[in-house]
């Protein structure tokens, strides 16, 4: 307390270092959590589908001459006719429903289509679903701009359309839209709802119809299923469960992390950048404490010499200055935690700029107790390390040399 200004400057260095650390890490983790929630809001934990094989090494001629001393070479083979549906889908669905890891499943028929409304023609995709299963899995009711998902159950040839797609076509509830499938089938659907996921890549192209209408659009029977969306009780086990399902059924099984690998990578980069900047701030604050402690010891040389001449051991002198550094660190860390919380709370109350493609009202901020504990721990250890060297220097002072001048 004898050097209030120096103590305050050192404490403020720790305070602002901890506060900026908490603010940055809370905001960045909040952004990552928002991105993950957004991913999971339209991506199943596991996507099971029949992947198209591109292996053209086998041929009819090769099978015919197999075992004979003949070399068969097929140049530029044409792709063979493949079925995109899942074989024996009913038995597969039944088996998945009995799996204790599975929380929800939704059978889907997907295809590319052309949307026609007046002179406007836009390409996109259509998903034929059991709307109750799909709504439970992705909580579609909370994502509806107008209408309700249940309208597909009562409407004859109804369609739920993404908000971006509806805006491009300039359609509203009740309008009739023509859909043209790749097989040439043309059907008209009435718009019974408009949804917004918050991702333009989805809202600009995707629509939902009933599973029966999707099968009818492709000219297929009721057993035709192209995809199965799976939600697990614990989505962290998706990668392991996807490998198991692939080995069991032989179909391609993508977990949500694989399907959104680019987003996970960007989250990792942001986390790394945040920790690097935050730790740098704390280290800078530690050097500030080191400089102040070093200056304090230089100014107190005669006082230290007198104390040692009176019988104080080097250990006692070291404890005096080390306790001062720890006091500054803990006080600065506590005030930094408080300031960081206030700044993070203030940021979480700032309205996010209106955006039709991002369903976000306020800036995302995560309030995790671990961040504050880490800030307190680092705020205590950094001053301890910064004060250790000056304290050792003070402990080694020779009082005779100092008093002689």
pLDDT tens for 183-217 read 888 999 999 999 988 777 788 899 999 999 999 99
* Percent of the chain whose pLDDT exceeds 90: 19
Residue 244 falls inside a structural domain: yes
Number of structural domains, the chain? Answer: 2
pLDDT score of 402: 64
pTM higher than 0.75 for the full model?
no
- Alpha-carbon Rg for the chain, nearest whole angstrom, is 33
pLDDT score of 56: 64
What is the pLDDT averaged over residues 303-331?
77
Residues 35 and 48 in one domain: no
Residues 184 and 274 in one domain: no
Residue 332 falls inside a structural domain: yes
pLDDT score of 159: 94
More confident site: 14 or 241: 241
- Least confident among 11-20, 25-34, 237-246, 299-308: 299-308
Residues 251 and 275 in one domain: no
More confident site: 105 or 41: 105
Last residue of a domain, one of 256, 285, 314: 256
Residues 351 and 369 in one domain: yes
Q: CA torsion 359→364→369→374, rounded to 10°?
A: 140
Distances (CA, A) of 330 to 10, 34, 287, 323, 326: 11, 33, 16, 10, 6
Residue 233 falls inside a structural domain: yes
Residue 215 falls inside a structural domain: yes
Q: Read off the pLDDT band of 342 (50, 70, 90).
A: very high
Last residue of a domain, one of 224, 256, 288: 256
Q: Could you tell me which residues come within 8 angstroms of residue 229 by beta carbon, excluding any fewer than 6 positions away? A: 44, 46, 47, 48, 105, 106, 108, 134, 137
Residues 139 and 122 in one domain: yes
Q: Read off the pLDDT band of 395 (50, 70, 90).
A: confident
Residues 128 and 140 in one domain: yes
Residue 278 falls inside a structural domain: yes
Handedness of CA 369, 371, 374, 376 (dihedral sign): negative
Residues 343 and 197 in one domain: no
Residue 86 falls inside a structural domain: yes
Residues 395 and 278 in one domain: yes
Is the Cβ–Cβ distance between 343 and 363 less than 8 Å?
no
CA–CA separation, 170 vs 152, rounded Å?
21
Residues 84 and 60 in one domain: yes
pLDDT score of 80: 65
More confident site: 296 or 224: 224
Distances (CA, A) of 192 to 160, 168, 204: 6, 17, 17
208: alpha, beta or left? (left if phi > 0; alpha if psi -120 to 50): beta
Residue 345, domain extent: 4-40+263-404
Question: Per residue in 52-66, pLDDT tens?
Answer: 766 666 677 777 777
pLDDT score of 350: 86
Residues 364 and 298 in one domain: yes
Structure tokens at 222: 């009721």
pLDDT score of 291: 73
- Give 351's DSSP letter: B
Residue 390 falls inside a structural domain: yes
Residue 70 falls inside a structural domain: no
Residues 271 and 139 in one domain: no
* Percent of the chain whose pLDDT exceeds 70: 90
Last residue of a domain, one of 234, 256, 278: 256
Number of Cβ atoms within 10 Å of the Cβ of 42: 18
Residues 240 and 315 in one domain: no
């Amino acid at each position: 307390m004898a050097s209030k200004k120096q103590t305050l400057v050192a404490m403020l260095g720790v305070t602002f270092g901890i506060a900026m650390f908490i603010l940055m890490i809370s905001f960045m983790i909040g952004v990552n959590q928002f991105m993950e929630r957004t991913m999971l809001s339209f991506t199943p934990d596991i996507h099971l589908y029949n992947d198209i094989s591109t292996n053209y090494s086998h041929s009819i001629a090769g099978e015919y001459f197999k075992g004979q001393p003949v070399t068969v070479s097929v140049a530029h083979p044409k792709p063979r006719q493949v079925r995109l549906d899942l074989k024996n889908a009913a038995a597969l669905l039944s088996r998945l429903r009995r799996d204790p890891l599975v929380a929800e499943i939704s059978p889907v028929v997907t295809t590319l289509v052309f949307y026609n409304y007046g002179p406007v023609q836009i390409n996109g995709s259509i998903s034929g679903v059991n709307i109750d299963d799909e709504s439970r899995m992705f909580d579609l009711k909370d994502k509806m701009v107008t209408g309700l998902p249940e309208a597909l159950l009562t409407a004859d040839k109804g369609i739920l359309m993404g908000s971006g797609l509806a805006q491009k076509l300039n359609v509203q509830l009740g309008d009739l839209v023509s859909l043209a499938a790749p097989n040439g089938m043309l059907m008209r659907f009435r718009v019974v709802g408009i949804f917004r996921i918050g991702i333009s890549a989805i809202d600009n192209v995707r629509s939902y119809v009933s599973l029966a209408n999707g099968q009818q659009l492709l000219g297929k029977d009721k057993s035709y299923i192209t995809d199965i969306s799976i939600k697990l009780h614990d989505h962290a086990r998706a990668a392991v469960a996807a490998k198991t399902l692939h080995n069991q059924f032989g179909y391609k099984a993508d977990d949500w992390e694989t399907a959104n690998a680019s987003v996970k990578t960007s989250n990792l980069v942001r986390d790394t950048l945040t920790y690097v900047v935050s730790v740098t701030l704390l280290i800078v604050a530690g050097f500030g404490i080191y400089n102040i402690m070093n200056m304090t010891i230089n100014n107190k040389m005669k006082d230290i010499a007198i104390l040692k001449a009176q019988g104080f051991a080097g250990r006692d002198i070291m404890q005096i200055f080390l306790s001062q550094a720890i006091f500054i660190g803990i006080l600065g860390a506590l005030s930094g935690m408080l300031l960081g919380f206030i700044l993070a709370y203030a940021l979480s109350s700032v309205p996010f700029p209106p955006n039709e493609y991002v369903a976000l009202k306020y800036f995302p901020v995560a309030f995790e107790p671990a961040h504050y504990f880490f800030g307190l721990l680092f705020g205590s250890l950094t001053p301890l390390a910064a004060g250790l060297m000056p304290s050792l220097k003070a402990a080694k002072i020779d009082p005779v040399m100092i008093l002689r001048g």
